[in-house]
Amino acid sequence: MKFKLLLIIFLAISATQSFAQNAAKAFSDVKNVTVRNVGIIKKNNIVKGYFTFYEYDKADKKNLVYKLNLVDENLNDLGTKEITGPKDWELVSSGFDGNNFCFKFYDDKKRTFELKVYNQDGVEVVSNPLKINYKPSSNSKYEMYQQMTNPELNIVESNGFVDYTFNDPNDAFIISYANGSTKNTWQQTYQPEGKSKVMLPTFLNGNDEVILTAVTRIEKGMYNTKTQHTVLASSAKTGAQLFDVSTEIDDNHVVPINAIFENGNIVVIGLNYKSTKTLTSPPDGMAFLIFDKNGKLVKSNFKTFEETLGKFLPMEDHKLKDGYYLYIHDIVRTRKNTNLVVAEKFKKAVDAGGVALSLFSSKAGPIKLQLENMVVMEYDLDGNLLQAKEIPKAKGSTGVFPSYTGFLTPYLLATVADIFGWMDYMYTVKSDDNGDITFSFVDYDRLDAGAKKTENFGQIKYHDGKITVDKIPVKNEKATFSRLMRASTNHVLQVNYFKKEKKLTMDMIKLNN
């Protein structure tokens, strides 16, 4: 039947005779396909396009033919590639480094992660397979690792891709690198002395010479919550460790968030804590560290929130007024050479429903977090706060925490809430030159005085010192359901499904700011 329909489509084309040559595509996707994966292709925080990965045909007994289709950020078709792979293949993540595309696949049968790099002709130029010694779906440590680390592929500034894979039973991680231009690949296991309870990598930056990774480590010990933070530098050419330097400086404990290569040095921007309990206590301020290329500390600068924020936000007894905390989501360097911080105000609250519920169930406790306004702060390179702006959003709350987490500190609860995706901040997007930086969030409020309360998408945009906000409802009123996906700094991609019409639409909505 489908085949006949296909014929009719083909024949309908030939019912017309035209005078001029029209551009015609030989085949469009008329097959009945099941979309298995849809995702975003990014170069760092810049959306470059979207991919769909779907089963197309049976290749042989063990393998399927998949189709990998790419569209650019404006949804223009970039091309389709047929790839033959195992039946249980999964496309985990993707990236674009300006020259090549990289896709990370997982083969459950062989328990192998593989980075496959394709050039823009769709030809595979290099691959980096990594066999793991555990089954991800049944490894609780892996699950925790997955929740605590960024699952996306990391893009090296000039060329190449970096990925971190959990390594069991050593509770460490393996760095995988693949560069389509030089065809260079390597894997390096990070395993410092001493046993660890938790070991989490965060990609900071990379270039032709060095890959920088922030490592968070908690040593073994049942009640140990003391964290250690280091900046690990690996050779981009071989993966060899160049240095692994602690960010504990006197009584300052710095959690690196971002790093920038500047005048041959490495500038690390992070949050500063006055205790080693960086997972459980709120940060005291910002830290700006400069290391030389050998990992030697050249300069450090620490600014407390108290001394900087007071001019812009209401403070009381060395804290934000009314017992609020700031949860820092991201720090980005702007084109003006300033550091932009996005945070969310929150405080611990008691959930009335939760109290009642906890009488009957041991699974939920009365604790939740009350989420309030977004806060954007701009610092100069010396750590002086240039501006701080509260972006109003409706008061909301996280889900109710399990009862066993009730004793945890508010900041740790916020960390957990962030991992669970309960906070309202969504993501950061930049333009190529960092001229535009946007932070997106969810807001449950009325857009107009007379309107109903709806789930809204909010975008804070920073452009040369100016901060503006725009909001749109997440759901298209006519659609059965809607989903928003990240897009370039001026847009958000709204995917709508219309059940009655059996129609799926993708609208690139232009935002006002």
Return residues touching other proteins (CB under 8 A). Answer: 3, 6-8, 10-12, 14-22, 24, 26-27, 31, 48-49, 56-60, 65, 70, 72, 74-81, 96, 101, 118, 120-123, 433, 435, 461, 468, 472, 490, 507-513
* Distance in Å, CB of 29 to other proteins, minimum: 11
Q: Can you tell me the distance from the alpha carbon of 177 to that of 97, in angstroms, rounded to the nearest whole number?
A: 13
Q: Which is nearer to other proteins, 35 or 355 (CB)?
A: 35
Q: Can you tell me the distance from the alpha carbon of 350 to that of 353, in angstroms, rounded to the nearest whole number?
A: 9
User: What is the DSSP code string of 169-230?
Assistant: TTTEEEEEEEETTTTEEEEEEE--SS-EEEEEEEEEEE-SSEEEEEEEEEES-TT---EEEE
* Distance in Å, CB of 60 to other proteins, minimum: 5
Q: Which is nearer to other proteins, 248 or 445 (CB)?
A: 445
* Distance in Å, CB of 335 to other proteins, minimum: 9
CA distances from 467 to 134, 365, 385, 489 (A): 47, 39, 15, 13
* Distance in Å, CB of 34 to other proteins, minimum: 13
Q: Which is nearer to other proteins, 60 or 317 (CB)?
A: 60
Q: Which is nearer to other proteins, 77 or 209 (CB)?
A: 77
* Distance in Å, CB of 56 to other proteins, minimum: 6
Task: Please say whether the beta carbons of 135 and 111 come within 8 A.
Answer: yes
Task: Please say whether the beta carbons of 280 and 226 come within 8 A.
Answer: no
Q: Which is nearer to other proteins, 78 or 357 (CB)?
A: 78
Q: Can you tell me the distance from the alpha carbon of 310 to that of 342, in angstroms, rounded to the nearest whole number?
A: 17
Looking at residue 324, the DSSP 8-state letter turns out to be B
Find, among 188, 185, 76, the residue nearest to 124 by Cα: 185
Is the sign of the CA dihedral 266, 271, 273, 276 positive or negative? negative
* Distance in Å, CB of 261 to other proteins, minimum: 23
* Phi, psi dihedral angles at 232 (to 5 degrees): -100, 125
Q: Which is nearer to other proteins, 228 or 459 (CB)?
A: 459
* Distance in Å, CB of 329 to other proteins, minimum: 23
Q: Which is nearer to other proteins, 4 or 502 (CB)?
A: 4
User: Where on the phi/psi map is residue 317: left (φ > 0), alpha (ψ -120 to 50), or beta?
Assistant: left
Give the angle 250-256-260 at the CA atoms, nearest 5°. 115
* Distance in Å, CB of 381 to other proteins, minimum: 22
Q: Which is nearer to other proteins, 18 or 362 (CB)?
A: 18
Q: Which is nearer to other proteins, 4 or 499 (CB)?
A: 4
Q: Which residues pair with 494 in a beta bridge?
A: 484, 507
Find, among 232, 229, 216, 218, the residue nearest to 175 by Cα: 232
Q: Which residues pair with 126 in a beta bridge?
A: 117
Tokens of 395: 């008061």
Find, among 434, 307, 315, 451, the residue nearest to 383 by Cα: 307
Kind and range of the H or E run holding 299: strand 297-304
Burial of 199 (0-12, 13-18, 19+ CB in 10 A): buried
* Distance in Å, CB of 452 to other proteins, minimum: 17
Tokens of 433: 């030159």
Q: Which is nearer to other proteins, 398 or 440 (CB)?
A: 440
* Distance in Å, CB of 340 to other proteins, minimum: 18
* Distance in Å, CB of 391 to other proteins, minimum: 17
Q: Which is nearer to other proteins, 351 or 436 (CB)?
A: 436
Q: Can you tell me the distance from the alpha carbon of 269 to that of 260, in angstroms, rounded to the nearest whole number?
A: 8
